[in-house]
């Protein structure tokens, strides 16, 4: 396929997505792609249906003028995205199903990165984030449709659910974690805010970096307000005060071990007791109530590791932990190693206590 042309297939449905600098380039690339598709279909005794073919121009500024594409011997003239009538439910339904398919596909990508890759962690995280970006993009199209007052059936819940799943995979969190907390830990802007940002950008006359940065700051502010007023996840909020500082940090990946401490959902007795896995929520080493805070800052079992860490990085409290971790990658690495050691040791001690349990 020519550069800048993407093909999305599903059963007997086919979408050709072309990006180009100029209208001429777009026509040339699309016709070339359509020609290849025609050849392939011909070889496989298939036929394209020109009467069912539609084209949408996803750009406000380009004028349709003489733009048209030859499909199966007929010319198809594109409609402008902003000019599709609101009552044309077929267009919106098609757009919606394409969005859903892309969402599913990027979720699969995200999962495969999670389980099969052996690349350095940071790269993986970036890739995972970018596949989430795809979702945000497609969903923002959906959202802007909804903002225009169209009456397509909406499934915001489904999309929010998919974003939650992605966030769970990015930071390997327990499934009991609340959505707002997992999105903050994974550093994913909630879709309703990301979509609102895109929608506001969409109606702007001129879009440049300054405008984008201004919108992004507004989004962070809204996210922060939601985070501050959320009545759940008080522990995570105690650690992560500022979502912007946390999300835009320059180093540090969240993983299975760190996430347990950030969320409080992990191998801590109090949590396991709350989800009715065990009868008693007290620490198996000192009989205090065992939560993430106790394990990290108080429990005598980890005193040696803790004093070694504190002598390296200075005083740590729940209020200053994240601030210090995000300051330098060395501190992040040391705290991460300490957290990992604790979780692994708890696993071993638990196994020694209950050898029959898997």
Residue 345 Cβ vs Zn ion, minimum distance, rounded to whole Å: 12
Query: What is the per-residue binding string for Zn ion in 337-356, x denoting contact by CB under 5 A?
Result: --------------------
Tell me how far apart the alpha carbons of residues 101 and 221 are, in angstroms, rounded to a whole number: 31
**Of the two residues 171 and 292, which places its CB atom closer to Zn ion in the complex?**
292
Q: With binding defined as CB under 5 A, does residue 39 bind Zn ion?
A: no
**Of the two residues 156 and 349, which places its CB atom closer to Zn ion in the complex?**
349
Burial class (CB in 10 A: 0-12, 13-18, 19+), 52: exposed
Q: What is the bridge-based pairing of β-strands 13-18 and 5-10? A: antiparallel
Residue 357 Cβ vs Zn ion, minimum distance, rounded to whole Å: 20
CB 95 within 8 A of CB 145: yes
Query: What is the per-residue binding string for Zn ion in 200-239, x denoting contact by CB under 5 A?
Result: ----------------------------------------
**Of the two residues 125 and 283, which places its CB atom closer to Zn ion in the complex?**
283
C-alpha separations of 206 from 100, 129, 139, 200, 213 in Å? 30, 27, 22, 12, 13
Residue 289 Cβ vs Zn ion, minimum distance, rounded to whole Å: 9
Query: What is the per-residue binding string for Zn ion in 253-292, x denoting contact by CB under 5 A?
Result: ------------------------------x-xx------
**Of the two residues 38 and 285, which places its CB atom closer to Zn ion in the complex?**
285
**Of the two residues 202 and 285, which places its CB atom closer to Zn ion in the complex?**
285
Residue 294 Cβ vs Zn ion, minimum distance, rounded to whole Å: 6
**Of the two residues 200 and 350, which places its CB atom closer to Zn ion in the complex?**
350
**Of the two residues 286 and 337, which places its CB atom closer to Zn ion in the complex?**
286
CB 18 within 8 A of CB 33: yes
Residue 278 Cβ vs Zn ion, minimum distance, rounded to whole Å: 15
Query: What is the per-residue binding string for Zn ion in 116-135, x denoting contact by CB under 5 A?
Result: --------------------
Residue 288 Cβ vs Zn ion, minimum distance, rounded to whole Å: 5
Residues in the interface with Zn ion (CB under 5 A) total 4
Residue with tokens 């004028």: 63
Residue 277 Cβ vs Zn ion, minimum distance, rounded to whole Å: 18
**Of the two residues 165 and 301, which places its CB atom closer to Zn ion in the complex?**
301
Contacting Zn ion within 296-315 (CB under 5 A):
299
Residue 270 Cβ vs Zn ion, minimum distance, rounded to whole Å: 11
Q: Which tokens is 288 given?
A: 């205090």
Long-range contacts of residues 48-51, Cβ cutoff 8 Å, at least 24 apart: 48/72, 50/74, 50/76
Interface residues toward Zn ion, by CB under 5 A = 283, 285-286, 299
């Amino acid at each position: 396929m020519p550069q800048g042309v993407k093909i999305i297939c599903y059963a007997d449905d086919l979408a050709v997505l072309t990006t180009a600098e100029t209208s001429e380039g777009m026509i040339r690339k699309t016709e070339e792609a359509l020609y290849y598709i025609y050849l392939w279909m011909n070889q496989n005794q298939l036929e394209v249906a020109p009467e069912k073919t539609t084209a949408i121009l996803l750009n406000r500024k380009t004028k349709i003028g003489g733009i048209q594409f030859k499909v199966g011997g007929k010319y198809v003239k594109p409609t402008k995205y902003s000019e599709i009538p609101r009552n044309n439910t077929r267009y919106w339904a098609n757009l919606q199903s394409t969005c859903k398919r892309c969402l599913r596909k990027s979720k699969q990508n995200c999962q495969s990165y999670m389980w099969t890759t052996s690349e350095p962690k940071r790269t993986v995280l970036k890739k995972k984030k970018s596949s989430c970006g795809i979702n945000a993009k497609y969903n923002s199209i959906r959202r802007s449709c909804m903002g225009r007052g169209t009456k397509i059936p909406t499934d915001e819940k489904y999309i929010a659910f998919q974003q939650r799943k992605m966030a769970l995979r990015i930071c390997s969190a327990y499934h009991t974690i609340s959505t707002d907390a997992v999105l903050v830990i994974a550093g994913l802007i909630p879709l309703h805010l990301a979509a609102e940002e895109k929608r506001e950008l969409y109606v702007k006359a001129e879009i440049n970096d300054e405008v984008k940065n201004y919108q992004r700051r507004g989004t962070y502010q809204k996210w922060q307000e939601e985070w501050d007023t959320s009545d759940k996840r008080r522990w995570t909020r105690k650690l992560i005060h500022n979502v912007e500082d946390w999300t835009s940090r320059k180093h540090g990946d969240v993983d299975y071990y760190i996430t347990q401490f950030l969320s409080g959902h992990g191998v801590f007795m109090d949590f396991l007791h709350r989800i009715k896995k065990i009868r008693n929520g007290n620490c198996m080493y000192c009989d205090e109530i065992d939560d993430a805070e106790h394990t990290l800052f108080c429990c005598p079992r980890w005193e040696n590791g803790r004093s070694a860490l504190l002598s390296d990085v200075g005083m740590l409290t729940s209020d200053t932990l994240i601030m210090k971790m995000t300051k330098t990658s060395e501190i992040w690495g040391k705290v991460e190693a300490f957290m990992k050691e604790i979780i692994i040791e708890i696993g071993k001690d638990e196994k020694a206590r209950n050898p029959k349990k898997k």
